Each structure stands twice: as structure tokens, then as C-alpha cells.
Amino acid sequence: MGPIPLCVLLQMMVLAVAADNTIDDQYTWPQWKVPLLRRKRTVPLSSPNFLAHPPDELSGTCGIECQRHLPSPTLNDLEKLLSYETVYENGTRTYTSVSVHGLNEEMVWSKNASSNSRHKREVYGTDTRFTITDKQYSTKYPFSTSVKISTGCSGVLITPKHVLTAAHCIHDGTDYLDGVQKLRVGILKEKTRRGKEGKGKYRKSRSRRSVESGKPSFKWTKVKQTQVPKGWFKGVADGLAADYDYAVLELKKAPKVKFMDLGIIPSVKELPAGRIHFSGFDDDRPGNLVYRFCSVSEESSDLFYQYCDAKPGSSGSGVYICLKEPGKKKWKRKIIGVFSGHQWVDVNRNGEQQDYNVAVRITPLKYAQICYWVHGDTSECRAA
């Protein structure tokens, strides 16, 4: 589906919200006590080679049926998976080991949830993606939280200066991607600059064309540091690496753009329509923000399996839903996952590969880790 008029898109979203507003008050954001991550030690590592290239598609993911055969991770396992690497803008790198405190069974969900409904991944019939071309819409919340990563992915602002994206947009599991040392993040901005002609004069015709074109442009910001969980690295999590396909980028300068909070939900399928939303910069529509929504068909403790129409470039987009705030009539959008993209999944742990669109869900443990990365203070991360 190509570009659509702003008035039509607004009407569609109003109808969607109106439908959601018929939901009982029980559909509110759950309040969670989350575990705490504490730093054990940080040690320097040799500088990365920055020689990897973005993978065309991911493979070897251990699917729901595969995960049923795996033992539950021990506390020591989890601490190893949640330890992380930090790469700084000068090319240096450190490794930080962590300890996990206050973990209980409620915070580590069962891996056995399954709807037994599977389909091949594709753009189904009519392409249901919406291109957001109007500057009055693409640069306003919630679409303004979507950003473009210079390695070719998308991301979402989760604080004024932190971006959540997919780990494979930064690291291929073995090395950091070429370009990560000079990583930048692009934020859509309206074109307001005026071209100069001589001293103190403006070329009005050019500035008028820029304003009337309605198409925003990217303002690029340098990245100060990146953080990736060790669970993403090859040889650490084995077939569960896809569960840790997320990373956080800290920007050198905070853009004046509203961000979106993180949220935790035990099951999307139990919500009305089980619907998720995300926006990103798909490669087949260069320079344009692309929005879509769909229902989650299947979910495990760490992944959402869904059939949202998507193309390369949308990986790393923030997956969000809208629920009521506890005790209030106000509805709020929160990020509940990161779109990982097209992946080949080991269905039965027998080498059989099947393809899906996959998103990594925000669990209590991941929330605790991302919150710690962002704030550096566990006192800020006791509840979601």
C-alpha cells in the first residue's frame, strides 16, 4: 500500500483507538516489580575489527517447539547472557559482568505457549504497510520516536538520548559491523532552512519549495556508545541468540523529540485483537517512514511470531501497544518489543528450517538490563 492522505490515515487511527476504547478497564498496563542488575566488574577488551557486514537474514533461531527441549536457564546462565559489551566512539571496548537480584518465577515465563498456527513469511496479497509522507504526521508523536540507524536499520527513542534497536544492526554475533565506529542516528525533521543568496538575502523560491514539498529530511546525530548483551554473541546463547537481538545506543546530543517508554506485558494474545504496531524505514521506500500493525499469532517467553508486512530496513523498530494507565482513563503507548525481522527458525530441533517475522519481547529481565544501561542506577529500575 502506497502513500495515503493524512485525513484518511487520521480517520483510520481514530477508529482503531475508538475500538480499543470499548475494552474493559481491566486492560491496563500491568505494574511489575522487576529484578535488579548490578555491575560486578568491567574490564577492557581489545578494539573490535569492525569488519562484519549486515546479514541478509538470520538463521538458526530455536523456535517454541525447539525451546521445549531445553532446560530452564539457571541464575548463573542468565547472568552470563545479560552481561554485556560497550563500544565507545573512539573505538575502544569493555566487557561488564553483572549479577541479578530479586528474580522470581513470575519474571521468567514459560516457553511452552503456542497457538499451533504457522504460516510462511511474505507480504500477504495486498501490501498493508502505510507510507507516512506528510511532515505534519511523520514528525509528530508517536511516529517521531522512530529513527534511522546509519548501518541500514531502524530504531526507537526510549529516552531523550537513548535509542533501542536490534543487536544484529550493530553486531553479527562475531564482530561489530563496518560503520559502527562512526555510527549515526537520523531523526526526521521538517525542512525549515532557507537558502542564502548574497549577504542577508534569502532565495524565497527555494525556501518555499522546501516548505511546500511536505517531505521531511533526516538530521543525523553521532552515537557516543553502544551496548549489546552477551546473549547475542555466538557461542554464548547457542540457538537462543535471537532472544537477545537488541541493543541500546547513547547519542552524543539529545534531539528535541518526544520518546516512548518501555512496557512489559505477559501475553499480547490475551489483549483485544492481540495487535502490535511499529514504524520503520523500509529499504523499498527510501526516505519515507512506513507504519504497520498486525496481530501476534504466536509467542514464546522471549519472542513474538507475527506476520506484519515488512521489508529490510525495518529491523530494530520499536514494537508498541496502547493500554490504559492504572487508575486513569488515559491511554498510553509503550514499547513491548524490538522488531528483529525475517528469521529462519529451527522448528523441532531437528534442523528443519521455517521462516517467520520475529520480534524480541521486553521481559522483566530485559527491562531491568535496558533500564540499567540507560540510567546506570538500579534505584531507577525497580518497577515497570
Separation of alpha carbons 313 and 151, rounded Å: 9
DSSP state of 266: S
Return the pLDDT at 105.
Answer: 64
What's the pLDDT band for 126 if we cut at 50, 70, 90? low
Cell of 270: 490475551
Residue from 311, 349, 306 nearest 118 by CA: 306
Return the pLDDT at 190.
Answer: 72
Return the pLDDT at 135.
Answer: 62
Return the pLDDT at 72.
Answer: 83
Q: pLDDT (tens digit, 9 = 90+) per residue, 311-348?
A: 889 999 999 999 999 888 889 999 999 999 887 777 66
CA distances from 382 to 29, 32, 102, 169, 332 (A): 16, 8, 10, 29, 20
Separation of alpha carbons 331 and 322, rounded Å: 6
The residue whose grid cell reads 524505514 is: 281
Separation of alpha carbons 331 and 291, rounded Å: 20
pLDDT exceeds cutoff 50 at 6? no
Residue 254: CB partners within 8 Å, gap ≥ 6?
160, 161
Q: Are 147 and 334 in contact (CB under 8 A)?
A: no
Return the pLDDT at 10.
Answer: 43
Residue 291: CB partners within 8 Å, gap ≥ 6?
129, 130, 132, 143, 277, 278, 279
What's the pLDDT band for 2 if we cut at 50, 70, 90? low
Separation of alpha carbons 169 and 67, rounded Å: 25
Cell of 16: 482503531
Residue from 372, 373, 375 nearest 36 by CA: 372
What's the pLDDT band for 48 if we cut at 50, 70, 90? very high
Return the pLDDT at 166.
Answer: 97
Separation of alpha carbons 256 and 219, rounded Å: 11
pLDDT exceeds cutoff 70 at 98? yes
Return the pLDDT at 192.
Answer: 57
Return the pLDDT at 374.
Answer: 96
Could you tell me what percent of the chain has a pLDDT over 70? 76
Lowest-confidence range among 65-74, 82-91, 363-372?
65-74
CA distances from 3 to 131, 283, 285, 288 (A): 5, 15, 10, 9
The residue whose grid cell reads 515497570 is: 384
Q: How far apart are the first and last CA of the chain?
A: 36
Per DSSP, the three-state class of 149 is strand
Q: Are 362 and 335 in contact (CB under 8 A)?
A: yes
Question: Which range is most confident: 6-10, 338-342, 376-380?
Answer: 338-342
What's the pLDDT band for 208 if we cut at 50, 70, 90? very low
Return the pLDDT at 372.
Answer: 95
Q: pLDDT (tens digit, 9 = 90+) per residue, 218-270?
A: 999 999 999 999 999 998 877 788 899 999 999 999 988 899 999 999 888 88
Average pLDDT rounded to a whole number, residues 193-217? 49
Average pLDDT rounded to a whole number, residues 68-81? 89
* 220 vs 212, residue with greater confidence: 220
What's the pLDDT band for 299 if we cut at 50, 70, 90? confident
The residue whose grid cell reads 546479514 is: 55
Task: Taking the CA atoms of 239, 240, 242 and 248 in sequence, report the sign of the dihedral they define.
Answer: negative
Q: pLDDT (tens digit, 9 = 90+) per residue, 139-168?
A: 788 989 999 999 999 999 999 999 999 999
Q: Are 169 and 152 in contact (CB under 8 A)?
A: yes
Residue from 16, 236, 258 nearest 159 by CA: 258
Question: Which residues are bridge partners to 70 per DSSP?
Answer: none
- The helix (run of H) or strand (run of E) holding residue 321 is strand 318-324
pLDDT exceeds cutoff 60 at 7? no
The pLDDT mean for the chain works out to: 81
Global pTM reads 0.85
* 133 vs 237, residue with greater confidence: 237
What's the pLDDT band for 137 if we cut at 50, 70, 90? low
pLDDT exceeds cutoff 70 at 114? no
Return the pLDDT at 22.
Answer: 42
